[in-house]
Amino acid sequence: MSKIVLSHIDKFYGENHVLRDINLTIEDGDFMTLLGPSGCGKTTTLRVVSGLEKPQHGTMTIDDKPIIDADKAFYEAPSKRGLNLVFQSYALWPHMTVFDNVAFGLKIKKMKKAEVEETVMRSLKTMRIEEYRDRYPNELSGGQQQRVAIARAIASSPKLLLLDEPLSNLDARLRIDMRAELKRLHRETGTTIIYVTHDQVEALTMSTKIALFKEGEISQIDTPLGLYTNPIDLQAADFIGNPRINFIDSKSVYDGENLSVESVFGTYVFPKSTLKLDEEIPLNKEFDTVLGLRPEMVDVYTEDPHHKNTVPAKVYANQPAGSETLITLTVGGLEFLAIQVGLVEYDMNQQVFVVLHPSRMNVYNKETGRLIKFAKTKHKAGIDD
Amino acid sequence: MAKKGWKHPPMTKERLKNQFNSLIGNPFNVIVFITLILLFVLIIIPLLSMVHNTFIVAKSELRNIPGAKVGDYTLWYWKYLIASPLTKTILWVPLRNSLIIGAFVTVIAVPLGALMAWLMVRTDIPGKGLLSALILIPYMIPSWCKALSWMTIFRNPSMGGNGVLSSLGIPVPNALASGFIPIIIVMTMHYYAFSYIMASGALRSINSELEEMGEIQGATRAQILKSITLPLILPSILSATIMTISKSVGTYGVAARLGGNNADGTPFYVLATRMKDFINSSPKGVGYAMSILMILLAAGTIIINQKLIGTRKSYATIGGKGTRSNLIQLRSAKWPMLIVISLFLIIAMVMPVFFLVMESFQIVPGGGYGANNLTLYAWIGELQNAPNPGYAQNGLFRNSEFVRALGNTVKLSLIASLITATFGQFFGYITTRGRGKWYGNAVEQLIFIPYLMPGVAFSAIYFSMFSQPRLGGLIPSLYGTFALILLVSIVKHFPFASRSGSSNMMQIAVELEEAATINGAGFWKRIASIIIPLAKNGFLSGFLLSFISIAKELDLIAILMTPKNYTLSFLAFDYSKEAMPQVADAICIVIIVFILVTNRIADKFGGNVSKSM
């Protein structure tokens, strides 16, 4: 139904360059999440797509139809782009009932009265709020208002639905409910969705693709799994994942065939096939690298499991949290984090053995901060890797 | 517009066409454009025109400037004002008088207002509900009404009759009947409101935890007041001080009524009254030059205020989240403080109204309240039955001048406040939606200009602009027309109306409009179905407050008045100069009742008199 292509979008506020050469393709039916810390340009990108902001440079098409051509000062009106937007603040009109809020856009389209009634009720039913049709927004709870905002956005059957941090005003439990609701909505309607959030859990759980923003630029576009397994640079690695990834300083040498990486864990050798060769990798010369090690990739044993990648370690601190346990470990002065499913008890300073999986580690060039060695995704990795 | 890393795209025909279409196709742009032109025409051009007029020879000065022709450039007016043998009498003395009045009013009114604000907001003074309902009423009574009321009490034969005191045989010294003391006292009873309103706003925004922290550290209440509370509200008090100086130096009505004569028999002048005399007689150019000086004086103080306080003002609201406020216990000081406020209310509200009412029933003002001196004549009497042969007209409700003035007042206030409030909403819309953009700032600054000018000086501008045909006769001379008075009333109230409009618009989140845009609503549809329904109450209260302000206005329209356009305020002012103060008193009472009733209604829509400063 709709494929959106943004190319070379630049947006300035005065001297402030807030979007820098944004290139993004959103395929039909995608659930594309724009992810990043606040002030990184993700909301601005969404507003450019919606037509509420006009970029100074770049083009945008929907299904090959030009929507923005900044050089020609051409900007299609927001209402003619076939999209709708759910605001972070919901932006429900306080002087209209739920019904009137949802019906507003339909009435503007001069839809017949009976049809308006039917369409509004259908979208209220989809969001399971039909009993509130005659209430005013201030008579509803936050979660209900959120549903009205979504109902209003989907009533016009947009080809593209834009959501700007829609869950940030909800409490933790409602957020989980609404995540499920949104995912179901995406499945049922098949609408292309662009979703803005700073919450990586939302991004990872709902999206088909994630565009990671950093200071007005897109640093990586990938599937949730791809982004999680192989963040493109140290900042991205640091941002994605909770608890955060362990960074382990290391020295590496690349001889053109293999990359050998030396750290407190010993020396690992990675073949050329696992390397990201378009990145800067000095040849035949030792250089500083950083190993990226996810806490859940550290297996902890109380007795030596006789695995080839076993390293003895000490327990520094232990945080059982019900469904999982966080263990802070030390190896030769290096502190790092492991996570285990379920409640596990360790004593302080207890001797343990950790099994590591080099093939599932990332290697970053410390100087450029960029990923130079891919980690295998879990379902591709063998148990002994 | 050149930006780093981004080359300006080539100016193709298509780009130009699209840019033009989006500029013209967006009604908002068109409205901004019209607004800028309107403000330029209504504010900048008249101001420049008046400045220009002070350098141009007018017909009436031909005999004073040998060899000059009408329209020649001349420095004669300015020389006359600031470098002639008359300078002392026409400039330095009135200026000195104005400054003395301003200084005294400020020194008394600002601490008084601040004290009352502190008592009302931060202490457990008894009867707070009633007091806070009453405390701004003196400010709602027009200041010239209070001047008339002063005369009912302190009038002595030097002011052409007796007041309550001299009729009781108590001699009233001239210094109490007219001149500095009455002017200062009456203005104080009016301008206490600035410091009261600003200080109570600041006090309300201070979290009481800040004071409680001081208490925990062992500070006494006096120490807390001195080293925590006062410094925090200091910026707003400073602001109020500057406002009070600027306003009291520029006030016309009170000084015109209570000025009287100096000891040597010459009239007592302040800048405003001296200027009006020049404008209504001659040489007008000197009057214009004086009003430029007044504008510079008022604008100077306000701009200094903005520069000094502007950046620090915000810190008065630090900790503004604290809604819970523990009140300070006055304990033994409770009753003395209550007496202070009650005394103020009695002097500034009860007595003025009481004596105005009483005098309106008297046959001979100052003739006592015996049955033989009481009459309803001032209200409903007919001339042929007049109890006093000196009476010049029917009682109020049978007086065609009153009926006409009432009609004029209602017509003027209604039309002017409707227009000014409507424009105010648009201005507010432009300034809030254009915040930080050049046009938003331009509109905001243009609108601020009338605020810098004393009313009497502002109308001088319009007088100079429109008392002669303009644009080669396309605009005829407007002097003496209702239209001119209307125009002045509208433009002078722009700053207030726009402030009310922008506080109104600020409450309507931009997203509400954006949501409508995305749903296909164009500009006018958004205005009609989102902005207007949500702005309704704010608009109504803004409208009613301008209505009150225009209805009681005297300073602003005094210069422009001709008999057929008299409003109630001016009629009362006029009558009070003749030997019939009772009718003037009665008109004052009508105005006061009208103001209080309208204010009550405005209150219902969230309007607050403190917003109409």
Encode pLDDT of A315-347 as tens digits: 999 999 888 999 999 998 899 999 999 888 899
Residue-by-residue DSSP string for A247-275: EEEEEEEE-SSEEEEEETTEEEEEEGGGB
Tell whether B453 and B539 lie within a shared domain: yes
Query: Is there a contact between A71 and B517 if contact means CB atoms under 8 Å apart?
Result: no
Q: CA B505, CA B513: separation in Å to the nearest integer?
A: 11
| ipTM exceeds 0.90, yes or no | no
The residue extents of the domains of chain A are 4-234, 235-293+362-385, 299-355
Rounded distance, CA A161 to CA A148, Å? 15
Within-domain flag for B62: no
Query: Taking the model in full, what pTM does it have?
Result: 0.81
Please check whether residue B443 is in contact with residue B517, taking contact to mean a CB–CB distance below 8 angstroms. no
Does any domain span residue B148?
Answer: yes
**Is the CB of residue A11 less than 8 Å from the CB of residue A18?**
yes
CB B588 within 8 A of CB B355: no
Q: Report CB contact under 8 Å: B521, A104.
A: yes
Q: Which of B515, B521, B533 sits opposite A91 (nearest CB)?
A: B515
Shared domain check, B604 and B543: yes
A61-65, A378-382, B103-107: which has the minimum mean pLDDT? A378-382
Same domain? For B440 and B341 the reply is no
The CA distance from A282 to the nearest CA of chain B, in Å, is 31
* CATH T-level assignment (fold) for domain A299-355: OB fold (Dihydrolipoamide Acetyltransferase, E2P) (2.40.50)
Domain co-membership, B341 together with B425: no
pLDDT value at position B319? 39
Assess if residue B368 is contained within a domain.
no
Q: How many beta carbons lie within 10 A of that of residue B72, not counting itself?
A: 13
Is residue B440 domain-shared with residue B353, that is, in the same domain? no
Q: What is the pLDDT of residue B247?
A: 84
Instruction: Judge contact between B375 and B363, C-beta under 8 A.
Output: yes
Least CB-CB distance to B509: which of A50, A71, A89?
Answer: A89
Minimal CA separation from B209 to chain A, in Å:
28
Contacts of B533 in chain A (CB under 8 A): 95
- Which residue in the set A50, A87, A94 is minimally distant from B534, CB to CB? A94
pLDDT surpassing 80 at residue A71: yes
Query: Measured between CB atoms, does B1 come within 8 Å of chain A?
Result: no
* B238 and B280 both lie in a single domain: yes
Based on the fold, state whether residues B189 and B237 are members of the same structural domain.
Answer: yes
B166: domain range?
87-357
Q: Contacts of residue A78 in chain B, CB cutoff 8 Å?
A: 517-518
Q: What is residue B525's predicted lDDT score, i.e. its pLDDT?
A: 93
The region of weakest confidence among A92-101, A105-114, A313-322, B324-333 is: B324-333
- Write down the pLDDT at residue A194: 95
Q: What is the mean pLDDT of each run of 10 residues along chain B (613 residues)?
A: 55 84 85 92 89 84 78 86 85 91 94 91 86 87 89 82 82 86 93 88 78 79 82 83 85 87 83 88 85 86 72 41 62 87 91 88 78 80 74 80 90 93 91 86 86 84 83 81 92 88 86 92 92 87 84 87 88 80 88 87 69 52
Whether residue B308 is found in the same domain as residue B188: yes
E strand or H helix at B567: none
Q: How many structural domains is chain B composed of?
A: 2
> Does the fold of domain A299-355 match that of domain A235-293+362-385?
yes
Give chain A's radius of gyration (CA, Å): 25
Q: Is B518 on the interface with A (CB under 8 A)?
A: yes
Say yes or no for a CB contact (<8 Å) between A89 and B511: yes
pLDDT category of residue A61 using cuts at 50, 70 and 90: very high
- C-beta separation of A284 from A255 below 8 A: yes
CATH number of the domain that residue B490 is part of: 1.10.3720.10
Decide if A73 and B515 are in contact by the 8 Å CB cutoff: no
Shortest alpha-carbon distance between residue B527 and chain A (Å): 13
Q: How many residue pairs bridge chain A and chain B with CB atoms within 8 Å of each other?
A: 86
Residue of B nearest to A84 (CA): B518
Cα A104 to Cα B525: distance, rounded to the nearest angstrom: 11
Query: Both B346 and B401 in a single domain?
Result: no
Interface test with B, best of A72, A109, A156 (most B CBs within 10 A): A72
Contact A337, A329 (CB under 8 A): yes
Which among A222, A150, A152, A168 is positioned nearest to A43, based on CA atoms? A168
Would you say A35 and A210 are in contact if contact means Cβ atoms under 8 Å apart? yes
- What is the amino acid identity at position B608? N
Q: Which member of B3, B6, B516 has the closest CB to residue A104?
A: B516
Minimum CA–CA partner of A74 in chain B? B18
Any idea what DSSP says for residue B267? B
Predicted pLDDT of residue A213: 94
Q: What is the rounded CA–CA span in Å between residue B365 and residue B391?
A: 12
Q: Please enumerate residues of A whose Cβ is less than 8 A from a Cβ of B.
A: 10, 12, 15, 17, 50-52, 56-57, 70-75, 78-79, 83-85, 87, 89, 91, 93-95, 104-105, 108-109, 152, 156
Question: By CA distance, what is A72's nearest residue in B?
Answer: B15
A256-265: per-residue pLDDT in tens?
Answer: 899 999 999 9
Q: Does B532 touch chain A (CB under 8 A)?
A: no
Return the CATH number of A235-293+362-385, one of 2.40.50.100, 2.40.50.90, 3.90.1490.10, 3.10.20.90. 2.40.50.100
Are A84 and B534 in contact (CB < 8 Å)?
no
Q: What pLDDT was estimated at residue B445?
A: 85
β-strand A31-35 against A209-214: which pairing, if any? parallel
Residue A17 to residue B520, Cβ atoms within 8 A: no
Q: Tell me, yes or no, whether B345 and B473 share the same domain.
A: no
pLDDT, position A364: 95
Distance, in Å, from the CA atom of A86 to the CA atom of A168, rounded to the nearest integer, reads 12
Q: What does the mean pLDDT of chain A come to?
A: 91
Provide the 10 A C-beta neighbour count for residue B466.
22
pLDDT value for B325: 58
pLDDT at A232: 93
Tell me if B489 sits within 8 A of B553, measured CB to CB. yes
pLDDT at B213: 79
What CATH fold (topology level) applies to the domain A4-234? Rossmann fold (3.40.50)
Q: What is the pLDDT of residues A352-374, one digit of tens each?
A: 999 999 989 999 999 999 999 99
B-chain residues near A216 (CB < 8 A)? none
